[in-house]
């Protein structure tokens, strides 16, 4: 399959953010942006990414026998290394410039990508903060959450606790039953707004590594298909890992990089500028 020239051109066009949008992200640590991808681009990558996920997926355990994390989604990593067409989306300037503008940096490099396919009747994604897993020196990180279809509440779209990156309690929890209970209780007594909204087709959210977020269950019989791209400041340095998950991420996503060095490995190229 070849990437149509019209879609290629769409991925090269910049999506201009207003000062108000950038300020909103700085305050709330997340933002949802409409019509980032047009209908033809979304439909094209829905098909391509679905085919790649189907090839890569090795999960055969019945839903009722899985852990809460296992019920949340099928999770496949670094599709860009497996599929040249998917790579066109992951490496596109359109999304990378949005990430750069939101972070207010001089550029971004990729940490890694993930396909997160929540199966029909799949469970919740518990409250968590992504950066618990990452051995990264600063909070200059942002994840693009890209639904490959319109995502009503019944499919389990991403939810945010706006501004909750200010909370330190709960950052030490890996995603699971405990994080869902403890973080939910913590957020209940805070003034942070719990944002639960559907996503239109082509709408994409961007959220920081330390904002608390979750997703509801998929109560339909269809797959909720999402692609994600994790960006970091192009000058991001590796910190000394603080837990076993950060050690695993160091070995997996930052190969050959020493503590204190810029994460300039072969699988962490600069995507913008």
User: From CA 233, how far away is CA 139, in angstroms rounded?
Assistant: 9
**Predicted confidence (pLDDT) per residue in 149-189, tens digit:** 999 999 999 999 999 999 999 999 999 999 999 999 999 98
Alpha-carbon distance of 14 to 120, in angstroms, equals 35
Beta bridge partners of 227: 115, 146
Which band of pLDDT confidence, cut at 50, 70 and 90, is reported for residue 5?
very high
Per-residue pLDDT of 54-64, as tens digits, reads 999 999 899 98
Q: Output phi, psi for 241, to 5 deg.
A: -60, 145
For residues 238 and 229, the answer to whether their CB atoms sit within 8 Å is: no
- Residue 173: both structure tokens together: 């929890």
pLDDT of residue 160: 98
Enumerate domains of the chain plus CATH numbers: 37-272 (2.60.120.620)
Please answer whether residues 179 and 1 qualify as being in contact, where contact means their C-beta atoms are separated by less than 8 angstroms. Answer: no
In tens, the pLDDT along 92-109 reads: 999 999 999 999 999 999
pTM above 0.95, yes or no: yes
Residue 41 exposure: Cα atoms within 13 Å on the Cβ side? 24
Question: Measuring CA to CA, how many Å separate 180 from each of 127, 185, 238, 243, 270?
Answer: 5, 8, 28, 19, 34
Q: On the CB side of 253, how many CA atoms lie within 13 Å of its CA?
A: 23
- Give dist(CA 190, CA 75) in Å, integer: 31
Q: For 194-232, what is each residue's pLDDT tens digit?
A: 999 999 999 999 999 999 999 999 999 999 999 999 999
Strands 213-215 and 204-208: what pairing? unpaired
pLDDT at position 1, please? 77
Q: Which helix (H) or strand (E) holds 72?
A: helix 68-72
């Amino acid at each position: 399959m070849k990437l149509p020239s019209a879609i290629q051109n769409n991925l090269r066009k910049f999506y201009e953010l207003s000062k108000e949008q950038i300020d909103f992200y700085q305050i709330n640590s997340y933002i949802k942006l409409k019509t980032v991808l047009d209908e033809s681009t979304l439909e094209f990558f829905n098909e391509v990414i679905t085919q790649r996920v189907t090839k890569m997926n090795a999960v055969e355990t019945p839903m009722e026998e899985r852990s809460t994390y296992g019920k949340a989604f099928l999770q496949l990593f670094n599709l860009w290394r497996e599929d040249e067409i998917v790579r066109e989306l992951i490496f596109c300037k359109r999304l990378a410039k949005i990430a750069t503008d939101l972070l207010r940096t001089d550029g971004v490099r990729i940490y890694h990508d993930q396909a997160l396919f929540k199966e029909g009747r799949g469970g919740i994604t518990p409250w968590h903060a992504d950066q618990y897993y990452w051995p990264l020196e600063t909070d200059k990180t942002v994840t693009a959450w890209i639904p490959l279809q319109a995502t009503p509440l019944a499919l389990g779209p991403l939810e945010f606790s706006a501004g909750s990156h200010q909370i330190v309690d709960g950052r030490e929890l890996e995603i699971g039953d405990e994080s869902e209970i403890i973080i939910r209780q913590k957020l209940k007594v805070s003034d942070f707004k719990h944002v639960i909204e559907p996503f239109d087709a082509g709408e994409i959210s961007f959220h920081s590594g330390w904002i608390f977020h979750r997703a509801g269950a998929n109560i339909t019989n269809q797959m909720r298909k999402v692609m994600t791209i994790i960006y970091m400041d192009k000058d991001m340095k590796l910190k000394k890992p603080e837990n076993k998950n950060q050690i695993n991420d160091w070995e997996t996503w930052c190969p050959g990089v020493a503590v204190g060095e810029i994460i300039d490995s072969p699988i962490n190229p600069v995507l913008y500028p």
